[in-house]
Amino acid sequence: MSVLFCVVVGVVYAAAFSLLLQRDLLRVLLGVALLGHGANLVVFAAAGVGHGPAPLVAAGALAPPAGAVDPLPQALVLTAIVIGFGVLGFALALAWRVRGALGTDDLDALQATCRDAAGEGT
Amino acid sequence: MNDAVVWPVVLPFAFAVASLSAWRRPGLRALWAAAGHLAHLLASIGLLTAVLAEGVQVLRVGGWPSPYAISLVADPVAALLTLLAALVGAACVADVLLQPRERAPHPAFHALMLMLLGGVSGAFLTGDLFNLFVWFEVLLMASFVLLALEGRPPQLEGAVKYVVLNLMSSAFFLTALGVLYGKFGTLDLAHLATVVEGGNDRAVALASALFLVAFGVKAGLFPLFFWLPAAYHTPTPTVSALFAGLLTKVGVYALLRVFTLVFPPGTGFAHALLLGLGTVTMVVGVLGAASSTSLRRVLSFHVISQIGYMVLAVALQTPLALAAAIFYLLHHILVKTNLFLVGGLIAEASGGERLSGLGGLLQRWPLLALVFAVPALSLAGLPPLSGFFAKLAVLRAAFDASAWVPAAMVLLVGLFTLYSMVKLWQAAFWQPAPPSAPTPARPAGRRLLPAVGLASLTVAVGVGAGPLFEVCLAAGADLMARTPYLEAVLGVVP
Integer Cα distance of A14 and B262 in angstroms:
29
Determine which helix (DSSP H) or strand (DSSP E) holds B443, and give its type and residue range.
none
Is the model more confident about B88 or about A103?
B88
Distance to chain B for A1, nearest Cα, Å: 15
| Residue B303 scores a pLDDT above 70 | yes
Residue B464 lies in a domain: yes
Contacts of B152 in chain A (CB under 8 A): 101, 117
Residue A34 lies in a domain: yes
Contacts of B137 in chain A (CB under 8 A): 83, 87
Determine which helix (DSSP H) or strand (DSSP E) holds B58, and give its type and residue range.
strand B57-60
Find the chain A residues whose C-beta atoms sit closer than 8 A to any C-beta of B: 16, 20, 25, 28-29, 32, 35-36, 38-40, 42-48, 70, 72-73, 76, 79-80, 83, 86-87, 90-91, 94-95, 97-98, 101-102, 107, 110-111, 113-114, 117-118, 121-122
| Residue B312 scores a pLDDT above 60 | yes
Confidence of residue B86 (pLDDT cuts 50, 70, 90): very high
Residue B138 lies in a domain: yes
For chain A, what is the domain count? 1
Residue A13 lies in a domain: yes
Nearest to B171 among A35, A79, A121 (CB): A35
Distance to chain A for B347, nearest Cα, Å: 9
Confidence of residue A35 (pLDDT cuts 50, 70, 90): very high
Do the strands B57-60 and B71-74 form a parallel or antiparallel pair, or are they unpaired? antiparallel
Cβ-defined contact of B168 to A20 (cutoff 8 Å): yes
Per the structure, the complete domain to which residue A7 belongs is given by 2-50+69-121
Integer Cα distance of B468 and B480 in angstroms:
18
| Residue A121 scores a pLDDT above 50 | no
> Best of B170, B174, B210 to disrupt the A interface by mutation (most A CBs within 10 Å)?
B174
**Minimum CA–CA partner of A95 in chain B:** B160
Segment B196-213 mean pLDDT:
82
* Residues in B 279-338 with any Cβ partner in A closer than 8 A: 294-296
| Residue A122 scores a pLDDT above 60 | no
Residues 6+ apart with CB under 8 A from A72: A47, B181
Contacts of A20 in chain B (CB under 8 A): 164, 168
Question: Which residues lie across from B126 on neighbouring strands?
Answer: B72
Contacts of A110 in chain B (CB under 8 A): 157, 160
Cβ-defined contact of B160 to A70 (cutoff 8 Å): no
Could you tell me the CA-to-CA distances from B158 to A33, B66, B136, B204 in Å, in that order?
20, 42, 19, 35
Percent of chain B residues past pLDDT 90, beyond the cut:
19
**CA-atom Rg of chain A in angstroms:** 21
Integer Cα distance of B141 and A82 in angstroms:
13
Nearest to B168 among A32, A42, A118 (CB): A32
For chain B, what is the domain count? 1
Half-sphere exposure of B66 (CA within 13 A, CB side): 25
CATH number at residue A14: 1.10.287.3510
Nearest to B352 among A110, A114, A122 (CB): A122
Instruction: Give the range among A53-67, B213-227, B348-362 with minimum mean pLDDT.
Output: B348-362
Confidence of residue B214 (pLDDT cuts 50, 70, 90): very high
Contacts of A36 in chain B (CB under 8 A): 167, 170-171, 174
Residue A55 lies in a domain: no
**Per-residue pLDDT tens digits for B8-60:** 999 999 999 988 888 888 888 888 888 999 999 999 999 999 888 888 888 88
Q: Does B164 contact A at CB distance below 8 Å? A: yes
**Per-residue pLDDT tens digits for B98-145:** 887 777 788 888 899 999 999 999 999 998 999 999 999 999 999 999
Residue B490 lies in a domain: no
Judge whether B160 and B123 are in contact, CB under 8 Å.
Answer: no
Residue B493 lies in a domain: no
Integer Cα distance of A106 and B96 in angstroms:
35
Residue in B246, B215, B241 with CA at minimum distance from that of residue B85: B246
Per the structure, the complete domain to which residue B203 belongs is given by 3-485
| Residue A116 scores a pLDDT above 60 | no
Confidence of residue B63 (pLDDT cuts 50, 70, 90): confident
